Structure 1
Amino acid sequence: MKKIVRLISAVICFFQLNVQAEEPKEYTFAINSAVTPLLHAAFINETIKTVERSVAPAKLKVLYVELPELERLIENHQTDFFISTAATIRRYQDLGARDVLTASSPFSKNPNRSEGSLFIVKEGRSDINSISDLKDKRAAAGRPTAFGMYLAAMGEIAADGYDPKTFFKSTQFYGLNRDQIIKDVLDGKADVGILRACYLEDAVNRKVVTTDQLKFINLKNDPEHICLHSTRLYPNWSFGSNPSVPPAVLSAVAAGLIAQKPVGIGLYWSVASDFTAIDNLLKSLQLGSYQRFSKEWFWQRIIEYRFWVLGTLAAFALLLIHSFIVSRTVNIRTQELKESLKRESQSFHEAQEAHRRLMKMQRAAVVGQISSLIAHELNQPLAGIKLYARTLQRAKDSGTLTEDKLGTALAEIRTDADLAAAIVERVRSYAKGARSERVSSEVSELVNKAVREFKRQSGERVEVKLTQAQPVHVIVNPLEFELVIINLLRNAAQALQELGVSNPKVDLTIRRSDNSAMITIEDNGHIEKETIAKLSEPTNSTKADGLGLGLQIVRSIIENHGGKISFSQATSGGLRVEIRLPVQEETK
């Protein structure tokens, strides 16, 4: 397998050599000077040689820098390659930094779980036994942005529900002088020290301290990691790159490092597959890309660019002064306009009040119109009730009253009474200004019901023929719609009777035209065009008794449903009434 990797690396290097032969370049390789002792010096030296071979014939400039300088180089794209903690690289990923490979060591079997922190206190501190006991204590650590020597520990504190910024009473940072952290804890200058995982073992090996001098807080048990640690484990130190590196060069470097044999204590480069833990830690601590969009970062930028900010504010202040002067001038010159608008507003309110009074009068007029219709509509059900009551009385007097006759008569009386009650309730709703309840209805069902009711009420021998091309649904109040059809049928029947038509007939047609339901009512009588014109006038009646006023109510009901009604002469010479109603929108 390694032979195949070396072969691929050689091929990539060959093409890279051809590219660089045309345009030689120098690459910068910055290494965090805190890399040892976790990563052995021999491993770092071998890594430098591998990178040099991979970028040849271009030169490689190697820099050992402390963490603050490395962060500056990465942020400003002044280094092409770098070795640092995985957290440092992830902090700048939104600026183009990429973690290419991760170091694997014998201390941890999983490169995804290698880095962490260790809390140490002096042996004998019985008052400190958990993370909560560290609250308001004095701490000693590496750097504010050092991962193992500080940030991983702060992540553990945040995970326990504390604010890392205010958790410790004070924190002393020692940079690369990490042994001083241990010394401060032993001397009592610090209550707690924060060390990178595996640094304690190195210090014990160098005889800086013995384990019986210290006490360890919040120890974690992880069979894949042999070093003492108090926090979650994160990916190991990594090899990263900036966008300045061409893809071919980066591929050659990555292939060379993967093919590099284990060095020293068994260190080698591999691929880490899970940086979720680091990303979550950076989010909880508001670092990296999360810090760059935080309030703290905002105020830092304000201070950094204070002269530009002050200049902008001064220009804005001048603009405000200018705006104030202009506004004052405009206010003086528009005073008359404001007074005019005030008068216009008063006129508007007066118009609204007049409109309200007009609507009230209009409602009263409509109620009056409906009252006229009621006198007409209630006549039939009341007459039916009287008829059946008189029939029952006669049957009783004659001794011919049976249970069947009684049940039939009572059912008819109940039907007429229900119809009369519904008509009265509808008028009461109009008088109160209530909106009629409307439901989805199939037109032919309502028309058939109205025809049956018309025949039951009138008893007139008029043939009513219903034709429907296809089912059509509308949103209407069923009672109002039925009253419309009954009223129009009754008008047609009365007109045919007055004309003495020998074979009175009314044709009802239902069809759909675009987005409208068309209901057409034609009779086979005869009507003059002048009479048709009068029917379109809301206050005119064609009958001496005034029952033609029902057409105005019909028109009002249809228009309230968003429809239209029109009158014309049929081809047979009779009256043709056409009703248009919007069809119900189909739900998909």
Structure 2
Amino acid sequence: MKPFILISLIAVELLCAPVAFAEVKAHPPLVFVINSAVNPLLNQAFVNETIETIRRNVYPRRLEVKYAELPEIEEMMEKKTADFYLATSSTVRRFQDIGLRDMVTASSPFSKDPNKSEGSLIIVNAGRKDLNTIDDLKGKKAAAGRVTAFGMYLAAMGEVAKAGYNPQQFFSGTSFYGLDRDKIIEDVLTGKADVGILRICYLEDAVNRKVVDPTRLKFINLQPEDEHICLHSTALYPNWSIGSSPNLPAAYVSAVTAALIHQKPTALGIHWSVASDYTELDTLLRALNLGAYQRFSRLWFGRMLHEYKYVLLGAGAMLLLLLTYTYLVSKLVERRTRQLRVSLERENKTFQEAKAANERLLRMQRAGVVGQVSGLIAHELNQPLASIKLYARALQRASEAGTLTEAKMKEVLEEMRADADMASAIVDRVRQYAKGRDSGRQTLALSELAAKSIREFNRQTGSESGIVTCFNSRAIVYVNALEIELCIVNLLRNASEALTKQNIKHPKITVSIFEDAKRAELRICDNGNLSEEKLSLFNEPTQSDKSSGLGLGLQIVRGIVENHGGKISFSRNNVGGLSVLITLPLHEANHGKKAAENAHTNR
């Protein structure tokens, strides 16, 4: 009976063996990826024992072990092509948002707490007196492991961020050497790099291997050694960890985790435990925008693009339209500005030409005034010169007769000097006027100026023409006497010549003066025959009915009157002749007196 049972069991086992083999063959091996940089922090004996522990607890599944460098491990974590990962806690933590989970964390005798076992040491050449703090490292050249290596770079960048700097712009340049860590120390000693970043405890390993004399190095931002026996410049973070892929069945995760925790410590005391505090590590990843924080930023941006694509397209279109409108407006403004500039330049050129023409006209006008004043000056100078001549002749006769006394000579010479001063004053007055200087205005009665002008006109014409005057007011004005006299004489001459030319049998010129509350009026009328055509000529700025002279007589008169704040107008009177009206502002004192008289009359 017993042999039969034994044979039956063997037969059953033989029949089931192909089925079990088929089941194992149907499931691919589990992959355990180990970071090549695991040594020297975790020694090879501890790693080998860990491999065997995992292999025993996934049986009958096979376990495939692979060593890889950090970039390849990160790619495998991203694609979930492995099942177990042995790497730094920061590497596992960076992929937690896509399903990776830390199972156990290494605990070593170098640190009292597995939560505080990993960090960086910042080294500089001992001869660099200028490098003492993290602030001093700004803008310097650095040497490190990899851009994503935790102890060989990221932990140190966390201290840079804590100091208030942007880690991506802190160093002027960084050389990355991967696993060739001794090259970092070499660059610092030779001066190729100003600063080096080493993983915690690597310096002590290099000293044991006789790679470097620690006295040749200086350490930046050195931290207290009460929590870790190795020198470090940064905060401390959880130790190396084993992480699991989300594709790994929970039974394997539970079995492996329990087995690793109960794995016997090595002779150095290294064993697996559980990390409980990732606060400092998460803060670092957030500050450096790594892992979940980096992917969240990308996802957030992508989600925004997807959810608000029409809004963004509309905003982009509006922005494009705004930019186009701004461009077109700027071009239009530029063109208008250019046109305005050309117009202003043309206007300025026209203004300058008009100014130059006006200055030429004023010079011609002044020349004409000076020429016409010459007759008046000759008459004014005649009196002092004639007196001087008479006094000189009297002195000569007295000298010849022997009756010239010293007192008489002194008296005559005083008279001659006074007449000479008078002549000099007259000449200086004309010279000042010719040079454009103010020859002086004074308060005068317009009736007195008109009477003097009539006498001068009679003297120049050599006859006592029958000019009728009607002075109803003295009309006090503030004027240049010489200029106003010239105006009146000029107008009288024009009227007289016009009457002579027209062969008027009984020529008549009337000069009248009136005033109202604000102005004085001087009117000169003749009894000639004035046509509408000739009347229009008087209103042309440079026209004259005279065939001789400069042709600027009336223009000169108009300029003088307007310079005194007055106006001149031409019209035909009730007998068909020309009527010239000159209005001048009354002097202020006379104006006030007139207003007072009007007020008294009203009472």
Task: Tell me the TM-score range normalised by the shorter chain.
Answer: 0.3 to 0.5
Structure ranking higher on relative contact order (CA contacts 8 Å, 6+ apart): 1
What is the TM-score normalised by the length of structure 1? 0.47
Structure 1 or 2, whichever has the larger Rg, is 2
What is the TM-score normalised by the length of structure 2? 0.46
